Amino acid sequence: MTDRYCVFGHPIGHSKSPAIHAAFAEQTGETLEYTAIEVPLDDFAGAWRRFVEAGGRGANVTVPFKETAYRLCDALTPRAERAGAVNTLILEADGRTRGDTTDGAGLVGDLKRRGVTLSGARILVLGAGGAVRGVLEPLLAEAPARLHIANRTADKADGLAADFADLGRVSGGGFESVEGPFDVVINGTSASLGGDLPPLPNDLFAPGATAYDMMYGAEPTVFLRWAAERDAATIDGLGMLVGQAAESFCLWRGVRPDVDPVLGALRRAL
């Protein structure tokens, strides 16, 4: 029987994950089936159980189920436990479900592929939701000089900074707390989806700085357009998407695919 994998979400019709994993399978010679499954908002556990009963071996998890998946797992990797969210489910040989999160690895890997230096850098992360929580540990593992989390609700950013304070020099506050310059600015808010921009100072970027948006599209996001006008190098989140998928694929199959050709094909198709 062909091993089955999927991505769970709501909605999920827009997902590029089936195409990404099909390309990984062809590249590596792995035989598998990967589909997208839209899950009722109140039945994530049931959807996973039915998928496993039908031969499922693992799944990716996207919004709005990452925290639900975290609670479903029998075991968690240290990085998933720290993040409080899971984007990768792995069915173990004994039938237990192990959860991991690969978003942070996808982000850091993409930044490094693009030549962005994180060690010793001044990093600003915008937002304090699940997307940000999942990337803080890998970012802090790169030993930045400082990492500041800015969010519309200051208390949420403060709390998130406190949760990760044992890993490095990290602080939090409202958008009014932002005092540059920064070498790397990462937008982890959902503002780009609505074409909005967080209230940010014009002197945000140090010379040679990089602006990264976790969102992506055929055209630059409003955040990336704003950053480019202030002479920052800009990167969208498509490489993070493919990078986190490659990490999940490796967890399931034990082989790491090459991200670059798959990323290039996706970029051309946008």
Annotated binding site for NADP(+): 127-131, 151-156, 214, 237
Q: Give dist(CA 176, CA 165) in Å, integer.
A: 21
Nearest CA-CA partner of 124 in 136, 137, 138: 136
Residue listed under structure tokens 């200051």: 154
Distance separating alpha carbons of residues 27 and 30, to the nearest angstrom? 8
**In terms of DSSP bridges, do strands 32-38 and 3-9 run parallel, antiparallel, or are they unpaired?**
parallel
Q: Which amino acid is at 219?
A: E
Pick out the residues of the known binding site for shikimate.
15-17, 62, 87, 103, 216, 244
Contact in structure between 71 and 48 (CB atoms under 8 Å): no
CA angle 107, 38, 98 (to 5 degrees): 55
Rounded Cα–Cα distance for residues 232 and 180 (Å): 13
66 classed as catalytic: yes
**C-alpha of 154 from chain center:** 22
**Residue entry with tokens 């990085």:** 79
Query: Which candidate in 66, 82, 98, 253 is catalytic?
Result: 66
Q: Which residues are annotated as a binding site?
A: 15-17, 62, 87, 103, 127-131, 151-156, 214, 216, 237, 244
Q: Quick one: tokens of 48? A: 């996973």
Count how many residues are written for the chain: 270
What order of strands is seen across the sheet that includes strand 146-151?
A: 170-174, 146-151, 122-126, 182-187, 205-213, 233-235
Q: Which two tokens stand for residue 81?
A: 């436990």
Query: Which residue, among 244, 213, 251, 257, has the nearest Cα to 109 in the 3D structure?
Result: 244
Distance CA 205, CA 152 (A): 20
Point out the residues that are catalytic: 66
